[in-house]
């Protein structure tokens, strides 16, 4: 039996308070976290999900992966795209730089990338694009908040068809699209909801497919292209 593809999932480091079952003295420690839906959906699709700790060397860990998922979270530091932060905004510059290093290593190695919500925004900034720092009137909702329409011929059009209802949990979006990227999905109000790197298995979506009530087909796509990348990798082996 062929071994499942290993898909790395980026996370974040947070104070342990509220995230453990031990004594209060442990509140002063840190934990590494991401929402479990990312791993659950990948496992359901047949992949082997792997959490990437903060201290993992980006190049070393990507060398052992078959694909990379960049997860959601806090706003990308506007300094990275030449803008001033809006008042009261919170950023995690350390996470930005770690994930950009993971992305750079994945692009250099040629493995598939799925960038989700903040991940899409980071992908866009990595390629020299900019972001809208706050959307005043974009719909929000846990499931089916609005439709996304895809560009014919795009990867996401092949995954979803012309239009799909998505959830909407973001208050930022792609503004100027990064060099080489193509905006392939839009909401009815014109907000960019998806982007791709043509000719590569590199896709970003602005919604949260891991939180939908149904099994989103993007994870089957991720597993399929990661399996192809694994088979093509030097030293690829089968198990069983």
What's the Rg (C-alpha) of the chain? 18
Mean pLDDT of the chain: 93
Q: Max CA-CA distance within the chain?
A: 56
With tokens 């530091």, the residue in question is 77
Those residues whose C-beta lies under 8 Å from the C-beta of residue 28, and which sit 6 or more positions away, are 15, 16
pLDDT digit string (tens) for 169-193? Answer: 999 999 999 999 999 999 999 999 9
Active site residue: 60, 196, 210, 214, which one? 210
151 pLDDT band (50/70/90 cuts)? Answer: very high
pLDDT digit string (tens) for 15-55? Answer: 888 888 889 988 898 888 888 999 999 999 999 999 999 99
Known catalytic membership, residue 99: no
Under CATH, which architecture does the 6-232 domain have? 3-Layer(aba) Sandwich (3.40)
pLDDT digit string (tens) for 219-237? Answer: 999 999 999 999 988 655 4
Backbone region of residue 9 per phi and psi (left: phi > 0; alpha: psi in -120 to 50; beta: other values): beta
Strand partners, 230: none
pTM, two decimals, is 0.93
Q: What is the pLDDT of residue 240?
A: 38
1 pLDDT band (50/70/90 cuts)? Answer: low
Q: What is the pLDDT of residue 32?
A: 87
Known catalytic membership, residue 20: no
> For the chain, what are the domain ranges?
6-232
Active site residue: 117, 138, 157, 196, which one? 117
Instruction: Tell me how far apart the alpha carbons of residues 61 and 68 are, in angstroms, rounded to a whole number.
Output: 10
Q: How many CB atoms lie within 10 A of CB 235?
A: 4
Q: What is the pLDDT of residue 236?
A: 53
Known catalytic membership, residue 210: yes
pLDDT of residue 238 exceeding 50: no
């Amino acid at each position: 039996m062929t071994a499942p593809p290993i898909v790395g999932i980026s996370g974040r480091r947070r104070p342990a308070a509220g995230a453990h079952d031990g004594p209060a003295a442990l509140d002063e420690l840190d934990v590494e976290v991401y929402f479990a839906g990312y791993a659950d959906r990948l496992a359901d699709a047949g992949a082997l999900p792997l959490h990437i700790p903060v201290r993992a060397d980006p190049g070393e860990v990507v060398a052992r992966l078959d694909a990379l998922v960049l997860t959601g979270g806090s706003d990308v530091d506007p300094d990275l795209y030449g803008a001033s932060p809006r008042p009261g905004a919170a950023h995690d510059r350390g996470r930005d730089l770690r994930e950009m290093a993971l992305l750079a290593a994945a692009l250099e190695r040629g493995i598939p990338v799925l960038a989700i919500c903040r991940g899409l925004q980071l992908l866009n900034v990595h390629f020299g694009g900019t972001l809208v720092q706050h959307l005043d009137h974009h719909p929000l909702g846990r499931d089916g908040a609005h439709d996304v329409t895809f560009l014919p011929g795009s990867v996401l059009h092949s995954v979803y068809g012309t239009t799909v209802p998505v959830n909407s949990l973001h208050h930022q979006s792609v503004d100027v699209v990064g060099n080489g990227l193509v905006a392939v999905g839009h909401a009815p109000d014109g907000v960019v909801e998806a982007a791709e790197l043509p000719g590569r298995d590199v896709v970003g979506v602005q919604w949260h497919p891991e939180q939908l009530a149904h099994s989103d087909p993007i994870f089957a796509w991720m597993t399929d292209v990661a399996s192809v990348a694994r088979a093509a990798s030097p030293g690829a082996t089968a198990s069983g």
